[in-house]
Chains A and B, each alone.
Chain A
Amino acid sequence: MLPVLILGALVILFGGGLIFLVSFLGPSKPSAEKSMPYECGLVGVEKRDTKVSVKYYLVAILFILFDIEVIFMYPWAIIYKSNLAEAGTFLFIEMMFFMAILIFGLFYIWKAGALDWE
């Protein structure tokens, strides 16, 4: 546990420290043009409340669901090989039930058009 935390702290110190140091080395001449958001040189147009697609929400939720499925497969994969002799068929069929329901879910999502346009 501690090595992970120490390495994380080291990376943050390295990155943050270097950015901090570099901010002293370069010139510092802020101007109005430099602070504008970049839009290929054109003046930015602020549109209010553009309608954003719901696709991103769907992708994220479907990812959560299938990620949960993957999480359950990790322990199954660990004990599958060592228990092939005594419980192999049982483990296989259990997981196939689980996967079948989820594959049916994927099929439904596909047919309902939630995976289109992306």
Chain B
Amino acid sequence: MGGDAFEVTVNLVKMAVIFLMMVQMVPILVWAERRGSAFIQNRFGPNRVGPLGLTQLLADAVKFIMKEEFVPGKATALLFYAAPVVALIPAALSLAAIPYSVPVHVEAFGEYGPYVFNIQGYEAGLGILFILSVSSLGAYSILMAGYGSANKYSLMGALRASAQMVSYELALSLSVIGVVLIYGTLNLSEIIKLQEGVKFGLPNWGILYQPLGFVLFFSCAFAECNRLPFDLSEAEGELVAGFHTEYGGFKMLLFFMGEYGHMMVASCLATIFYFGGYNIPYCTPTEVLQILETKFASSTVASLLTSLVFLISFLIKVGFFLWLFIWVRWTLPRFRYDQLMNLGWKKMLPWSLFNLILTAAAMLILKG
């Protein structure tokens, strides 16, 4: 973690900032979803509360806080209360392992030596493995919620949702392995660095090498986040509301925070693997740093601004994928459960295996 107190404080502050960022992004995403869905469905979304309806979720949050807190009669209270909290953990831990931008180099001043700030919660050497292992724990919050509610429909919904998550995790992991094959490393910062530059006139991004992998990854990400068209477990009107039938008020808000957190992680990973992470097409971080260094005297400020520029580029790409999540949700109809499982096992799994074999064979033939 760092020997001296400075590194420890820096790490703690980064943890807190990233977690709070995740919590704060949820209102923005919900607003985007409600306005976006409204425009897709040719109606107005919330536009009364605050400018453009932006503070709608603040009003909703206040309402949630004032609601009555209840536990269903025969529920096991510990599991019932723990499930929403456990839903937050995979998303928060994954978001802290993602590199958002170029590291900032602060030069020495006074007796404090030069320091490199990573715009990343903590540097996970095996970043991909860490994120996938933590995401696989997401099935537990669903199972705890379903069982703790003492409602047999919740239980059935929870079992179906966890069976779905588990089936699509396979195809997800296999498409991620395709990316790891191409770049030869599990470290996310390395993968981003290897996507600089151009190839055949196009930016040297992952999607050039793994188009099928991208389609598979993104489709499986929908299933992992329980989003339409795979949201049978939360479908209104089918299994009542699935595993979170008995949840109301603030605990429900925590579940949605977890779901949006998972969406953010999936979008960030899609950007990093297939769209160059924080790279801007046709220029590299060192070039931008040099341009900025000629304009500003201090190299610390130049480094900071470079980092900011690349952070904005990363956020734009992630925002595009989040919008894609919302767009698809309000456009496509829902899958039936047997269609869903068929798709997962009989189509996604064989295609991702085929993608892997093809990638390995192509690498062997082209470079061996």
Contact = CB atoms under 8 A, between A and B. Distances in A.
Contacts of B353: 99, 103
A2 B22 CA distance: 20
Interface stretch (B10-18, B45-53, B106-114, B217-225): B10-18
A63 interface: yes
A113 B12 CA distance: 52
A109 B12 CA distance: 49
Interface in A103-118: 103, 106, 110, 115, 117-118
Interface string A85-107: 10011001001100100010010
Contact of B1 (A2, A39, A66): A2
A12 B83 CA distance: 11
Contacts of A15: 84-85, 88, 254
B92 A7 contact: yes
Contact of B68 (A8, A27, A80): A27
Contacts of A37: 72-74, 149-154, 246
A30 B70 contact: yes
B166 A73 contact: no
A59 B85 contact: no
The A contact surface, by secondary structure, is helix
B25 interface: no
Interface residues of A, number: 61
A19 interface: yes
Contact of A81 (B170, B177, B184, B356): B184
B368 A26 contact: no
Contact of B363 (A35, A59, A84): A84
B88 A11 contact: yes
A78 to B, nearest CB: 6
Interface in B312-368: 337-338, 341-342, 345-346, 349-350, 353, 356-357, 360-361, 363-364, 367-368
B181 A26 contact: no
B16 A10 contact: yes
Q: Give the bracket for the number of chain B residues in contact with chain A.
A: 35 or more
B338 A89 contact: no
A118 B163 contact: yes
A1 to B, nearest CB: 7
A25 B66 contact: yes
B102 interface: no
B368 A84 contact: yes
Contacts of A79: 184
Contacts of B185: 78
B19 interface: yes
Contacts of A117: 338
Nearest to B130: A4
Contacts of B92: 7, 11
Contact of A115 (B177, B186, B346): B346
B235 interface: no
Contacts of A25: 65-66
Contacts of B70: 30, 34-35
A7 B169 CA distance: 24
Interface of B: 1, 11-12, 15-16, 19, 23, 64-70, 72-74, 81, 84-85, 88-89, 92-93, 96, 121-122, 129, 149-154, 159, 163, 166-167, 169-170, 173-174, 177, 180-186, 240, 245-246, 249-251, 254, 337-338, 341-342, 345-346, 349-350, 353, 356-357, 360-361, 363-364, 367-368
7 contacts: A10-B16, A26-B67, A37-B246, A38-B245, A63-B166, A84-B364, A110-B346
Sorted nearest first, the 4 A-B pairs with minimum C-beta distance are A81-B184, A35-B73, A15-B85, A118-B341
Interface of A: 1-4, 6-8, 10-12, 14-16, 18-19, 22-23, 25-30, 34-40, 55-56, 59-60, 62-63, 66-67, 70, 73-74, 77-82, 84-85, 88-89, 92, 95-96, 99, 103, 106, 110, 115, 117-118
